[in-house]
Amino acid sequence: MNVLVVNCGSSSIKAAVLDDASGVVQARLRVERLGSDDAVWRIGDGENVSCDPTHESALAAALPALISGCDEIEAVGHRVVHGGTKFTTPTRITDEVAAEIEALSELAPLHNPANAAGIRAARKLLPDILHIAVFDTAFHATLPRRAWTYGIDNELATKHGVRRYGFHGTSHQYVANRAAEFMGTDLRDLRIITCHLGNGCSVCAVEYGRSVETSMGMTPLEGLVMGTRSGDIDVGAVLHMARAEEWTLDDIDNFLNRSSGLSGLSGVGNDLRDIEARAADGDEGCRLAIQVFAHRVRKYIGAYTAAMGGVDAIVFTAGIGENSALMRHRVASRLDFLGARFCEDTNSDAKVSADSPVFEISERGARCRLLVVATDEQHAIARTAGRIAHEDDRVRNPRTIPVAVSARHMHVTRETLDLLYGEGHELTPDRPLSQPGQYAAAERVKIIGPRNEIDRVRILGPIRSKNQIEISRTDEFALGVDAPVRASGDVTNSPGVIVEGPAGRVELKEGLICAWRHIHMTPDDAEHFGVRDRDVVEVAVTGTGRDLIFGDVLVRVSPKYKLEMHIDTDEGNAAELSRGAEGALVETEGVARLQSRKVRYD
Ligand code: AMP
């Protein structure tokens, strides 16, 4: 699905058109210097075009240029910084939602007005398309109360919405998922500390898939030392300076948000590349900036390990986390006490990109893995917007899955057919099957098990590269063999059996399986249902003698397939299945992904 992602900052805008699944970008827009007389926009690496200084007028001019050469846009994802306590999940934007996002400007005066302006401009340009707000705060909605509460008067805190919300949630969630995929473990079985170290910096404790602690607070000022923000500081120190320097509230805001952090400490700006270069040349301020920055991150890692009672992976992401080997060295070496054994060599080689987003920098076999992961908030927003648009499509245009009973049958190789039916025998198509190109052949064979025989088992064409006999549990007992439940094509280490045809017998070494109940679908169906090849889903089947839910249904996706669910005769009988039975996916959120299970297909 083609998604437009709009990310409005206070003085700049990033927007792009990309595919929600692959993340492949068709076109990018950058608007800079908003609020000044020399505001400009450009598409990709194109020429700068001058524009009016407001978000709305800049977008009104630039968005048509961005989308003009692109495939049709099917959804728009908006990054919204603050969702307050109201928006804890990605939300379809209606007039009311847009107004509420604007009203949250009180909590995020720098960000939400810009986000709201972007929403207004994009909805005006694309009024008939679904717009979805993806909130930076949403992932942290699971923080326990003890983590989000400040130690201040409760009544006053409630009155003014003063609590910890946390930010960078889209990035923390994205990289935690990537890390879990890399580790081949379900995110729900892992305790991960994600360190988003960019211009803004935050750490998050992701306990079994949920954010339980994060370093930013009511605003993105709390926590780590950042490019220009101080992070944690004793408010008493701020009061002291404000009194001594006779600062206004705006002066305090400027001091803490814009002239502190790496910039304030180093005195040479907020770019760590310059700071590292000067530190290497002996600049004391730059050395101190690096030391304070790294120390603060280490401190948070220790604290979050304690908060979760352990840690399975520590992730470094964003500009500094992905690129600064020096900073990762300072943060992650000597963490052996918590099971993380830092590898100096891989750390210096670490390189991540969209094509290769994860790089491990811990020693082999370490209990806690150290990973560098490329973040991609734009892709994460596109994926979320795409998922919601697909859900919308499912509700508006529900697609039902025809259910068919697959009777016992055999697939044969050329060699086996020669032995069963004579050299060079060709299968005789009897009737086509629902899956394109497949047919039931007129040829039938006898399956001979240790206990009993089953006669007249159909051969299905065309010829395959492996022999395979698919039977039901009842057949298995009749034959006296123990057949594993497998995906079609996955016959390694399955039991063998004797097969007899008119021209002779074959003793197969392997090939007897009970077929794993499955759904064939095209990539378009998979996109509609929000599933991927090898997902395992639940299907509610109706139009039968009994309405049933079938769990453990394997999804198989190929452009060659036609949408249909296959169950075996036992299951068909149990469901009292009649012609015209249909299934619907029960749940796609909790789909179990079988990345680590090796399932082979024809
Ligand atoms: P972000 O906000 O994620 O785009 O991060 C931007 C920051 O990452 C920059 O301001 C730099 O401080 C830092 N950065 C980017 N590349 C490098 C690098 N190669 N070495 C050190 N720091 C880097």
* 144 within domain boundaries: no
Q: Give the C-alpha separation, 233 to 224, whole Å.
A: 10
pLDDT at 591 over 90: no
Q: Give the C-alpha separation, 297 to 539, whole Å.
A: 46
* 452 within domain boundaries: yes
Is 330 exposed, middle or buried, given 0-12, 13-18 or 19+ CB atoms closer than 10 A?
middle
Do 238 and 345 fall within a single domain?
A: yes
Do 504 and 549 fall within a single domain?
A: no
Q: Give the C-alpha separation, 2 to 214, whole Å.
A: 32
Q: Domain boundary residue among 492, 515, 538? A: 515
For the Cβ of 225 lying below 6 angstroms from any atom of ligand 1, the answer is no
How many domains is the chain partitioned into structurally?
4
pLDDT at 230 over 50: yes
For the Cβ of 388 lying below 6 angstroms from any atom of ligand 1, the answer is no
Do 339 and 445 fall within a single domain?
A: no
* 164 within domain boundaries: no
Do 358 and 427 fall within a single domain?
A: no
pLDDT number for residue 587: 57
Ligand 1 centroid to residue 228 C-alpha, Å? 13
Catalytic-labelled residue, pool 136, 475, 525, 535: 136
Three-class HEC string of 488-526? CCCCCCCCCEEEEECCEEEEECCCEEEECCEEEECHHHH
Strand pairing report for 548-557 and 518-521:
parallel
* 350 within domain boundaries: yes
* 322 within domain boundaries: yes
> Which residue, among 509, 486, 505, has the nearest Cα to 568 in the 3D structure?
486
pLDDT at 80 over 90: yes
pLDDT at 349 over 70: yes
* 559 within domain boundaries: yes
pLDDT in tens, 245-269: 999 999 999 999 999 999 999 999 9
Do 29 and 70 fall within a single domain?
A: yes
Higher pLDDT among residues 458 and 110, named by residue: 458
pLDDT in tens, 470-505: 999 899 999 999 999 999 889 999 999 999 999 999
pLDDT at 464 over 60: yes
Task: Read off the pLDDT band of 601 (50, 70, 90).
Answer: very low
Q: Whole domain around residue 445: which residue ranges?
A: 407-515
Do 537 and 552 fall within a single domain?
A: yes
pLDDT in tens, 287-299: 999 999 999 999 9
Task: Read off the pLDDT band of 586 (50, 70, 90).
Answer: confident
Residue to substitute in 266, 323, 326, 328 for testing ligand 1 pocket (most ligand atoms within 8 angstroms of CB): 323
For the Cβ of 272 lying below 6 angstroms from any atom of ligand 1, the answer is yes
For the Cβ of 320 lying below 6 angstroms from any atom of ligand 1, the answer is yes
Higher pLDDT among residues 244 and 598, named by residue: 244
| Token couple for 429 | 């198509």
Beta strands in 136-291 (DSSP E): 191-197, 201-207, 210-214
pLDDT at 277 over 70: yes
Annotate 269-325 with DSSP letters as a single string: -S-HHHHHHHHHTT-HHHHHHHHHHHHHHHHHHHHHHHHHT--SEEEEEHHHHHH-H
The CATH number of residue 564's host domain is 2.40.40
Ligand 1 centroid to residue 202 C-alpha, Å? 14
Over residues 312-319, mean pLDDT: 98
For the Cβ of 12 lying below 6 angstroms from any atom of ligand 1, the answer is no
The average confidence (pLDDT) of the chain is 93
pLDDT number for residue 576: 82
For the Cβ of 227 lying below 6 angstroms from any atom of ligand 1, the answer is yes
pLDDT at 185 over 90: yes
For the Cβ of 318 lying below 6 angstroms from any atom of ligand 1, the answer is yes
Ligand 1 centroid to residue 324 C-alpha, Å? 8
* 142 within domain boundaries: no
Q: Give the C-alpha separation, 4 to 415, whole Å.
A: 54
Q: Give the C-alpha separation, 596 to 602, whole Å.
A: 19
Atom index in ligand 1 nearest the CA of residue 327 equals 21
pLDDT number for residue 527: 85
Residue to substitute in 171, 196, 199 for testing ligand 1 pocket (most ligand atoms within 8 angstroms of CB): 199
Ligand 1 centroid to residue 572 C-alpha, Å? 59
Q: Domain boundary residue among 362, 380, 398? A: 380
Do 505 and 442 fall within a single domain?
A: yes
pLDDT number for residue 580: 79
Look up the pTM and report it. 0.77
For the Cβ of 226 lying below 6 angstroms from any atom of ligand 1, the answer is no
For the Cβ of 273 lying below 6 angstroms from any atom of ligand 1, the answer is yes
Ligand 1 centroid to residue 199 C-alpha, Å? 7
Ligand 1 centroid to residue 28 C-alpha, Å? 20
| Token couple for 69 | 């050469």
Atom index in ligand 1 nearest the CA of residue 199 equals 2
Q: Domain boundary residue among 515, 539, 562? A: 515
Q: Give the C-alpha separation, 147 to 141, whole Å.
A: 11
Ligand 1 centroid to residue 226 C-alpha, Å? 11
Do 130 and 62 fall within a single domain?
A: yes
Q: How many residues does the chain have?
A: 602
Do 529 and 451 fall within a single domain?
A: no
Do 440 and 568 fall within a single domain?
A: no
Do 191 and 330 fall within a single domain?
A: yes
Strand pairing report for 210-214 and 313-317:
unpaired
pLDDT at 550 over 60: yes
pLDDT at 323 over 80: yes
Question: Nearest C-alpha to atom 15 of ligand 1 is from which residue?
Answer: 319
For the Cβ of 86 lying below 6 angstroms from any atom of ligand 1, the answer is no
Atom index in ligand 1 nearest the CA of residue 318 equals 3
Can 136 be counted among the known catalytic residues? yes
Do 480 and 524 fall within a single domain?
A: no
Q: Give the C-alpha separation, 370 to 42, whole Å.
A: 38
pLDDT at 600 over 70: no
* 568 within domain boundaries: yes
Over residues 568-584, mean pLDDT: 83
The CATH number of residue 23's host domain is 3.30.420.40
Ligand 1 centroid to residue 326 C-alpha, Å? 12
Task: Read off the pLDDT band of 589 (50, 70, 90).
Answer: very low
